[in-house]
Copies of this chain bind each other. A is one copy, B any other.
Amino acid sequence: MEHYVQNFSQGSQREKELLGGKGANLAEMTGLGLPVPPGFTITTKACLDYLRQEGFLEKLLPELEKHMEQLEKDMGKKFGAAADPLLVSVRSGAAISMPGMMDTILNIGLNDESVQGLASSTGDEVFALDCYRRLIQMYGEVVQGVPAYRFNHRFEKAGNKASWELIDSFKGIIEKETGNSFPQDPRKQLLGAVEAVFGSWDNRRARVYREANNIPHDLGTAVNIQAMVFGNKGEDSGTGVLFTRNPSTGEKKIYGEFLPDAQGEDVVAGTRTPLDISEMSSKFPREYGELEEIAHRLEKHYREVQDLEFTIEQGRLFILQTRRGERTAEASIKIATDMVDEGLISVEECLLRVKPTELEKILHRQLDADQDYEILGKGLPASPGAASGVVVFDADEAEKLGEKGERVILVTSETTPDDIHGVIAAQGVLTARGGMTSHAAVVARGMGKPAVCGCESIKFSREESLAWIGNFKISQGDIITINGGTGEVIKGEAILKEPELSPATIQLLKYADQHKRLGVRANADNGPDSEKALELGAQGIGLCRTEHMFMGRERMPLVRQLILSESPEEKEEALARLLPYQKKDFQEILEVMEGKPVNVRLLDPPLHEFLPQLLDLQQEIFAAEKAGDQQALIRQKELFRKTKNMDESNPMMGLRGCRLGIMLPALYRMQVEALASAAKILEDQGKELELEIMIPLVAEAKELSFLKEELREILEEKINPEGKVRYKVGTMIELPRACLTADEIAREAEFFSFGTNDLTQTAFGFSRDDAEAKFLPAYLEDGILEENPFITLDQKGVGRLMKIAVEDSRKVKPELKIGICGEHGGDPKSIAFCHSNGFDYVSCSPYRVPVARLAAAQAAIKAKSPAI
């Protein structure tokens, strides 16, 4: 039978699943002979049994007893003894790091009696009482559910100084709030703490975090019980955290913070602003040297940047925990590529260590250097990038406005795990207190959002729901800008500049290109976007949406004439006048992408998208009626009639895509003619071009053959077969029936490009707009769907259709070029799917191109070594 409890000296880092990350690392460090306070781990298995209530206690109690006895022996102290008692900490630690999510209780073992033993063994009654005060407070909050402010308020009133009087009043708070008293029995304290940690696995904030980070709910957490050491035993004590490299920039230099005469919670909670770790070298030179050596050893041992917690108790250094150091995306890339240079890891490992989505984060917007700002204040540069938004003082409010699409900056004294939803909704975070490793900073960096922390000049006036930054008053709704790279807080909305790739990123992407098999293209409809795409490494245009070229002041009247006129001549005239615009747009794109494939999709949306809304038109009719303007009335009524005539019940499945091309052949002819003419100009300049003409929304092969026949003459007349312009005609596969009859369609097509947005809509029968507004959020919350299928490809259903299409079409035409365009083309999981199903390329928005390049490389590496 499996044990619930395991001593640090028995385990290793390989047992992360059972021991949690923290426990496994404590075991590993113990094994390495590092100065770790002794202790043991209660496993995740025990947590799951606890949550299921399956014979938990009967099994746990004897094991716990045995290990506590061992710990007493190791420490030469007795748990709960009146004199020099053994005190322990209880900390949670899940397999996957969840910073700030789970709870910690320190100083377990103290009670009215043993606190006096601690006082006499340390000769410091204030210290002993403070330890006891802390235990009661933590226990009250975590185990007994008393709101933190009740204790804080009383503590502040007592001048932040522990005393017997304070302790009595803390006990009174607990009794008043819960009807129970603070337990004096140390074993009862211990068990309560363990159960509270296990229980907290299922609390709301933990579930929210896991959902936001796609962590399964059935892992459970472990609990680590460890002998207490004290960083708050006076001037020769202290506590700190340390990163083996800079977690913000990736620079290879110890980075961290140190707080003399304090316990670790003071650093993490951000309630006191700590010193930079470099200051330790003068104040604790020996311990600093020791720390440097340990940091180096751990990094080499783990082949990974470490995030250590340490405590110095009266001149003696203890390592309390080590774990993989969380870092910014930028640091992640720099560290991975540096480690290749240092020979620590292989290129493949380097590529796998960076999350593709991190590449999107580093494309942070920055403040444009050429503008003048009014700087309101300055804090720590806690998470890079700049953001502007309206000030919001409360996480709930931030979420509410964020859901409405407003850009908000969450401004608060400090964030707690309860504020997670507000951070998710905000563009950036500004806090008055806390350092670089405070909760707000860690969370914001994890999400790639700008954050400025510890901006101490902010003073809140809760009652009036406003704040002062220095002498400047900010109220909810005011606009500010934060610069997470410098720590500046700026008045109003600033001009933000698009980001550039760092040398490390360029190196990483070079590695990626050497390993990927998939081509990566971009979706772009104009010259500037095409240039951006090229700069970010796109190998061509995978989707040029021609409908965007129908917008614009001069074009709209022509488009409306095309749609509404009832005479073929007027329609032809409108098309003839639209042609030069289309031609110019195409020419710009082709110039940028010279020599690379450019895929142009013929008009796809229903024409009534270019018309006014019926409700608006009706309103104009009433206005004209009211004003007695007979001419306007007749005109508006006519427009209303024609527009109503075009109205559809389900436009997404109506007269659009190739159906439009079949019903109004002159439209597609104009578009192809514009494209061919643009190509001709470039050809005359001696440029090579590779055009792909894409016919959208095909459900039946004959739609494609019909339109190919319609367009053949124009293509054959306009494109010289011996010239420098090559072209292919193909189709978008975006309907289930297209997948199911892909063999027939492949006979007519030279390429396929999967339009997985529409394919997802039709496979699920979900209109994306309606689903996301009306029921998809509830589906995700209730777990009916695990992921939003419009963001991550639904492999089970939609993916199966795609597999059928790829297999059937390649049987008929092995050389068929197959790609994907649309949002899924930039989603790493979906890219892995495309890799393993033999796609030729993916196409995504320009800013996602680096993401796709890395994801494609990872897919190729993982396919070669599936064990990774």
Residues of A at under 8 Å CB distance from B? 614-615, 618-619, 622, 648-655, 659, 662-663, 697, 699-700, 702-703, 706, 734-737, 740-741, 744, 758, 761-767, 769-771, 774-775, 778-779, 782-785, 794, 796-798, 800-801
Find the residue from A615, A653, A764 having the highest chain B CB count within 10 A: A653
Chain B: minimal CB distance from A620 (Å): 12
Bound together, the chains give a CA A650 to CA B656 distance in angstroms of 14
Given contacts A736-B762, A740-B763, A765-B737, contact A770 B653 (CB under 8 A): yes
Query: Which of chain B's residues has its CB closest to A646's CB?
Result: B774
List the 10 shortest-distance A-B pairs measured between CB atoms, nearest first.
A650-B767, A654-B770, A737-B797, A653-B767, A736-B736, A735-B765, A655-B774, A650-B650, A648-B770, A650-B652
Pairwise interchain contact A735-B706, C-beta atoms closer than 8 A:
no
Q: Which of B618, B651, B741 contacts A650 (CB 8 A)?
A: B651
Pairwise interchain contact B763-A735, C-beta atoms closer than 8 A:
yes
25 contacts between A and B (CB under 8 A): A648-B767, A648-B770, A649-B652, A650-B650, A651-B767, A651-B770, A653-B767, A653-B770, A655-B770, A655-B774, A662-B775, A662-B782, A663-B778, A699-B764, A699-B797, A700-B764, A703-B784, A706-B782, A735-B763, A736-B797, A736-B801, A737-B763, A737-B765, A740-B800, A758-B765
Query: Which of chain B's residues has its CB closest to A623's CB?
Result: B622
Give chain B residues whose Cβ lies under 8 Å from the Cβ of A783: 702
Pairwise interchain contact A774-B648, C-beta atoms closer than 8 A:
yes
Pairwise interchain contact B801-A740, C-beta atoms closer than 8 A:
yes
Q: Which of B663, B774, B797 contacts A740 (CB 8 A)?
A: B797
Pairwise interchain contact A697-B736, C-beta atoms closer than 8 A:
no
Give chain B residues whose Cβ lies under 8 Å from the Cβ of A784: 662, 700, 702-703, 706
Chain B: minimal CB distance from A54 (Å): 23
Pairwise interchain contact B699-A766, C-beta atoms closer than 8 A:
yes
Give chain B residues whose Cβ lies under 8 Å from the Cβ of A766: 653, 699
Number of copies of this chain that the complex holds? 2
Q: Which of B622, B662, B763, B769 contacts A736 (CB 8 A)?
A: B763
Bound together, the chains give a CA A769 to CA B703 distance in angstroms of 20
Given contacts A662-B784, A741-B797, A775-B659, contact A767 B699 (CB under 8 A): no
Query: Which of chain B's residues has its CB closest to A703's CB?
Result: B784
Bound together, the chains give a CA A722 to CA B787 distance in angstroms of 42
Pairwise interchain contact B736-A655, C-beta atoms closer than 8 A:
no
Chain B: minimal CB distance from A162 (Å): 50
Bound together, the chains give a CA A558 to CA B793 distance in angstroms of 41
Q: Which of B618, B736, B767 contacts A649 (CB 8 A)?
A: B767
Chain B: minimal CB distance from A761 (Å): 7
Pairwise interchain contact B653-A785, C-beta atoms closer than 8 A:
no
Pairwise interchain contact A740-B796, C-beta atoms closer than 8 A:
yes
Pairwise interchain contact A653-B652, C-beta atoms closer than 8 A:
yes
Chain B: minimal CB distance from A705 (Å): 9
Chain B: minimal CB distance from A540 (Å): 27
Chain B: minimal CB distance from A743 (Å): 10
Given contacts A659-B775, A762-B762, A782-B662, contact A650 B770 (CB under 8 A): yes
Chain B: minimal CB distance from A629 (Å): 16
Bound together, the chains give a CA A263 to CA B131 distance in angstroms of 123
Bound together, the chains give a CA A655 to CA B778 distance in angstroms of 12
Pairwise interchain contact A663-B763, C-beta atoms closer than 8 A:
no
Query: Which of chain B's residues has its CB closest to A782's CB?
Result: B706
Pairwise interchain contact A770-B801, C-beta atoms closer than 8 A:
no
Bound together, the chains give a CA A765 to CA B697 distance in angstroms of 8
Give chain B residues whose Cβ lies under 8 Å from the Cβ of A703: 784
Give chain B residues whose Cβ lies under 8 Å from the Cβ of A655: 770, 774-775
Query: Which of chain B's residues has its CB closest to A784's CB?
Result: B702
Chain B: minimal CB distance from A404 (Å): 14
Pairwise interchain contact B662-A778, C-beta atoms closer than 8 A:
yes
Give chain B residues whose Cβ lies under 8 Å from the Cβ of A734: 765
With A662-B778, A737-B764 already in contact, 5 other A-B pairs whose C-beta atoms are closer than 8 Å? A618-B618, A651-B767, A654-B770, A699-B797, A700-B764
Bound together, the chains give a CA A727 to CA B699 distance in angstroms of 39
Pairwise interchain contact A775-B663, C-beta atoms closer than 8 A:
yes
Pairwise interchain contact B654-A653, C-beta atoms closer than 8 A:
no
Give chain B residues whose Cβ lies under 8 Å from the Cβ of A771: 653-654
Give chain B residues whose Cβ lies under 8 Å from the Cβ of A648: 767, 769-770, 774
Give chain B residues whose Cβ lies under 8 Å from the Cβ of A654: 767, 770-771, 774
Give chain B residues whose Cβ lies under 8 Å from the Cβ of A614: 615
Give chain B residues whose Cβ lies under 8 Å from the Cβ of A767: 648-654
Chain B: minimal CB distance from A258 (Å): 50
Bound together, the chains give a CA A767 to CA B651 distance in angstroms of 8
Give chain B residues whose Cβ lies under 8 Å from the Cβ of A779: 662
Query: Which of chain B's residues has its CB closest to A774's CB?
Result: B655
Chain B: minimal CB distance from A81 (Å): 53
Bound together, the chains give a CA A683 to CA B858 distance in angstroms of 63
Find the residue from A651, A654, A734, A741 having the highest chain B CB count within 10 A: A654
Bound together, the chains give a CA A706 to CA B778 distance in angstroms of 12
Pairwise interchain contact A649-B762, C-beta atoms closer than 8 A:
no
Bound together, the chains give a CA A778 to CA B735 distance in angstroms of 20
Q: Which of B615, B662, B762 contacts A765 (CB 8 A)?
A: B762
Give chain B residues whose Cβ lies under 8 Å from the Cβ of A785: 700, 702
Give chain B residues whose Cβ lies under 8 Å from the Cβ of A653: 650, 652-653, 761-762, 765-767, 770-771
Query: Which of chain B's residues has its CB closest to A660's CB?
Result: B775
Give chain B residues whose Cβ lies under 8 Å from the Cβ of A702: 783-785
Bound together, the chains give a CA A56 to CA B751 distance in angstroms of 41
Chain B: minimal CB distance from A303 (Å): 41
Chain B: minimal CB distance from A109 (Å): 46
Bound together, the chains give a CA A766 to CA B761 distance in angstroms of 12
Given contacts A662-B775, A775-B655, A784-B703, contact A649 B769 (CB under 8 A): yes
Chain B: minimal CB distance from A345 (Å): 40
Pairwise interchain contact B765-A699, C-beta atoms closer than 8 A:
yes
Give chain B residues whose Cβ lies under 8 Å from the Cβ of A697: 765
Bound together, the chains give a CA A782 to CA B767 distance in angstroms of 30
Bound together, the chains give a CA A55 to CA B763 distance in angstroms of 52
Bound together, the chains give a CA A783 to CA B655 distance in angstroms of 18
Chain B: minimal CB distance from A853 (Å): 31
Pairwise interchain contact A663-B774, C-beta atoms closer than 8 A:
yes
Find the residue from A706, A770, A796 having the highest chain B CB count within 10 A: A770
Bound together, the chains give a CA A783 to CA B800 distance in angstroms of 30
Chain B: minimal CB distance from A668 (Å): 14
Query: Which of chain B's residues has its CB closest to A737's CB?
Result: B797
Chain B: minimal CB distance from A606 (Å): 9
Chain B: minimal CB distance from A263 (Å): 46
Find the residue from A650, A700, A758, A785 having the highest chain B CB count within 10 A: A650
Chain B: minimal CB distance from A704 (Å): 10
Give chain B residues whose Cβ lies under 8 Å from the Cβ of A775: 655, 659, 662-663
Chain B: minimal CB distance from A789 (Å): 9
Bound together, the chains give a CA A465 to CA B764 distance in angstroms of 55
Bound together, the chains give a CA A774 to CA B782 distance in angstroms of 39
Query: Which of chain B's residues has its CB closest to A655's CB?
Result: B774
Give chain B residues whose Cβ lies under 8 Å from the Cβ of A740: 763, 796-797, 800-801
Give chain B residues whose Cβ lies under 8 Å from the Cβ of A796: 740-741, 744
Chain B: minimal CB distance from A215 (Å): 19
Find the residue from A619, A741, A775 having the highest chain B CB count within 10 A: A775
Chain B: minimal CB distance from A603 (Å): 15
Chain B: minimal CB distance from A824 (Å): 16
Q: Which of B619, B758, B764, B770 contacts A735 (CB 8 A)?
A: B764
Bound together, the chains give a CA A737 to CA B697 distance in angstroms of 18
Query: Which of chain B's residues has its CB closest to A785's CB?
Result: B700
Bound together, the chains give a CA A615 to CA B782 distance in angstroms of 36
Query: Which of chain B's residues has its CB closest to A775's CB?
Result: B659
Give chain B residues whose Cβ lies under 8 Å from the Cβ of A769: 648-650
Bound together, the chains give a CA A765 to CA B736 distance in angstroms of 8
Give chain B residues whose Cβ lies under 8 Å from the Cβ of A770: 648-651, 653-655
